């Protein structure tokens, strides 16, 4: 019996041994595989470490920025010379309740302690300064350190809602509100500056004579002229008339002395004008004041086109009145001259070189310019020269030299001056002055003329050239 059980156990053990796992030899792992796994693991560790360090630095930066205070410049008030006090009041919020006069809130409470009651006039609601203070007060309600620092810099800005105001430490720093009289005075001065100067009116009559093909212009009178003689508070006016665009018919009235309301009643008849030509003709009146010792003063001009007028009625004249306007200065061009003073020979050499940008004087759109030069001694003309005429040009080139012998006994150029007249030559009518230039003397007291003359005086025996703008 015992042998039988032993055999059974041995058989069971053999069976268990047969059913167990089979042990086999493992294939060896290659060296490149091991190296690749190691490198991958190292890279993963480095990436994770870098991400952790970046998160740590970012969290630390945010913490530092949150604790940093903002330093602002202390505002300075604008000083005002007037001593009366003045407070800047915040404009009320457009959405919040308004604070009634007396410093009480709508709920009946008193003004908060942070606000001060103004003793002077405040700025009206909606003003620029009030709006700025409103924005500043709204900013102080935030709790960040930057907003708290800004609140401290604002000083007296309170936290009482619509009653927040700004006060000044020094009375002299407080701006003042202009009085009613000052406002009215400023308005009157502004109105006076913007109001155009009145130069009076010109009254004239027009009539066309069909039998003689003639235009009859009657210069009746002028009214309300300005005084060109300040000593006598009057003028010596007369009127010049020419027909545009040909400028072939030029006439003028007589001079009436010491009056601002001259009455002429002078008729001027222009023959050889067909009725159909009236559509392109323009009357050009120039009102002047006569001056015996210098050139005449221009008061103003009147330009009246005939295209819009009906002159078919031959029995009665057409009466017109036009406002006199300032003379239109479209530019008279420029002149280039060269001067040289020779003290030993007591001579003054003048070279007229050229001109440019001259106005159109003829119907062709061009001019026939030439230059006259006058030598003046103590304001009196003592010598005259002139250039040749340059035909049909607005930019003539002269290149002509002239020598003036100075009067005997003259030492220097203190009593000497020059006058240049640029004229438009006309075969039929009188030559018309385009522009003028004066060098030396009292009339050349400023600008390029004074500079040029000073250079000639201080630099003898040198030829000095300079451009000058011509004036009327």
Distances (CA, A) of 153 to 68, 76, 168, 172: 16, 11, 13, 21
Residue-level pLDDT at 348 = 96
Question: 386 pairs with which residues across the strands?
Answer: 372
Q: Which of 280, 281, 262, 256 lies closest to 270 in space, CA to CA?
A: 281
Residues 256-269 pLDDT 10s: 999 999 999 999 99
Across 112-116, average pLDDT: 44
Q: What is the pLDDT of residue 249?
A: 78
Banded pLDDT at 189 (limits 50, 70, 90): low
Q: Distances in Å between the alpha carbon of 146 and those of 69, 73, 151, 154, 407?
A: 6, 13, 9, 13, 84
| Strand arrangement of the beta sheet that strand 432-439 belongs to | 380-386, 369-377, 416-424, 432-439
| Residue 104, CB-side half-sphere exposure with 13 Å CA sphere | 5
CB atoms within 10 A of CB 373: 20
Q: How far apart are CA 301 and CA 327, in angstroms?
A: 6
Alpha helices in 80-144 (DSSP H): 128-139
Higher-pLDDT residue of 116 and 216 is: 216
Which residue segments constitute the domains of the chain, with CATH numbers given? 88-94+115-172 (no CATH), 201-323 (2.60.40.150), 334-469 (2.60.40.150)
Q: By the 8 A CB rule, do 470 and 335 touch? A: yes
Q: Which residue has the higher pLDDT, 240 or 168?
A: 240
Confidence of residue 225 (pLDDT cuts 50, 70, 90): very high
Query: Cα 337 from chain centroid?
Result: 32
Helix, strand or coil, per DSSP, at residue 337: strand
Given a contact cutoff of 8 angstroms between Cβ atoms, the answer to whether 301 and 291 are in contact is no
pLDDT above 50 (res 139):
no
> 235 and 260 in contact (C-beta within 8 Å)?
yes
Token pair in block for residue 161: 């809602």
Instruction: Place 6 in a pLDDT band, splitting at 50, 70 and 90.
Output: low
Which residue is listed with tokens 């919020």?
93
Other Cβ atoms within 10 Å of 248 Cβ, number: 14
Contact present, 350 and 332 (Cβ < 8 Å): no
Cβ–Cβ under 8 Å, residues 317 and 205: yes
> How confident is the model over 91-110, as a mean pLDDT?
46
Whether 426 has a pLDDT exceeding 80, the answer reads yes
pLDDT of 181 higher than 80: no
What are the contacts of 365-369 at 24+ separation with CB within 8 A?
366/392, 366/393, 366/394, 367/392, 367/393, 367/394, 367/424, 367/434, 368/392, 368/424, 368/425, 368/426, 369/393, 369/396, 369/422, 369/423, 369/424, 369/425, 369/434
Q: How much is the pLDDT for 72?
A: 52
* Interval 292-323: pLDDT, tens: 777 678 899 999 999 888 888 877 889 999 99
Strand partners, 350: 339, 402
| 8 Å CB contact between 218 and 317 | yes
pLDDT of 460 higher than 90: yes
Q: Who wins on pLDDT, 136 or 230? A: 230
């Amino acid at each position: 019996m015992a042998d039988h059980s032993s055999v059974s156990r041995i058989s069971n053990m053999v069976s268990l041994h047969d059913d167990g796992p089979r042990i086999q030899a493992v294939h060896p792992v290659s060296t490149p595989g091991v190296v690749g796994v190691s490198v991958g693991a190292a890279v993963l560790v480095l990436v994770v470490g870098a991400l952790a360090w970046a998160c740590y630095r970012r969290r630390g930066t945010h913490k530092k920025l949150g604790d940093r205070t903002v330093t602002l410049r202390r505002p300075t008030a604008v000083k005002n010379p007037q001593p009366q006090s003045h407070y800047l009041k915040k404009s009320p919020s457009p959405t919040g309740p308004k604070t009634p006069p007396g410093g009480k809130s709508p709920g009946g409470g008193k003004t908060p302690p942070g606000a001060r009651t103004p003793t002077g006039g405040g700025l009206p609601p909606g003003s620029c300064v009030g709006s700025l203070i409103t924005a500043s007060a709204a900013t102080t309600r935030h709790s960040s350190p930057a907003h708290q620092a800004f609140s401290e810099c604002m000083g007296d800005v309170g936290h009482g809602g619509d009653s927040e105001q700004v006060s000044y430490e020094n009375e002299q720093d407080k701006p003042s509100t202009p009085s009613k009289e000052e406002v009215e005075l400023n308005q009157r001065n502004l109105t006076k500056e913007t109001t155009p100067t009145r130069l009076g009116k010109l009254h004239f009559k027009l009539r066309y004579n069909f039998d003689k093909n003639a235009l009859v212009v009657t210069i009746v009178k002028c009214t309300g002229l300005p005084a060109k003689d300040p000593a006598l508070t009057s003028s010596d006016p007369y009127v010049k008339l020419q027909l545009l665009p040909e400028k072939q018919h030029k006439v003028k009235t007589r001079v009436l002395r010491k009056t601002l309301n001259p009455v002429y009643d002078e008729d001027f008849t222009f023959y050889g004008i067909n009725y159909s030509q009236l559509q392109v003709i323009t009357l050009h009146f120039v009102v002047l004041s006569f001056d015996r010792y210098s050139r005449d003063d221009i008061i103003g001009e009147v330009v009246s086109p005939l295209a819009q007028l009906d002159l078919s009625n031959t029995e009665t004249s057409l009466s017109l009145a036009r406002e006199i306007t300032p003379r239109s200065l479209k530019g008279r061009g420029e002149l280039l001259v060269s001067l040289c003073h020779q003290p030993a020979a007591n001579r003054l050499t003048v070279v007229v070189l050229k001109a440019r940008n001259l106005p159109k004087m003829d119907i062709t759109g061009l001019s026939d310019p030439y230059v006259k030069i006058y030598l003046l001694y103590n304001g009196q003309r003592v010598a005259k020269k002139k250039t040749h005429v340059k035909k049909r040009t607005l930019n003539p080139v002269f290149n002509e030299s002239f020598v003036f012998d100075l009067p005997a006994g003259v030492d220097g150029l203190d009593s000497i001056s020059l006058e240049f007249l640029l004229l438009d030559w006309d075969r039929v009518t009188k030559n018309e002055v385009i522009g003028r230039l004066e060098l030396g003397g009292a009339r050349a007291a400023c600008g390029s003329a004074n500079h040029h003359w000073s250079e000639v005086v201080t630099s003898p025996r040198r030829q000095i050239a300079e451009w000058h703008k011509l004036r009327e």
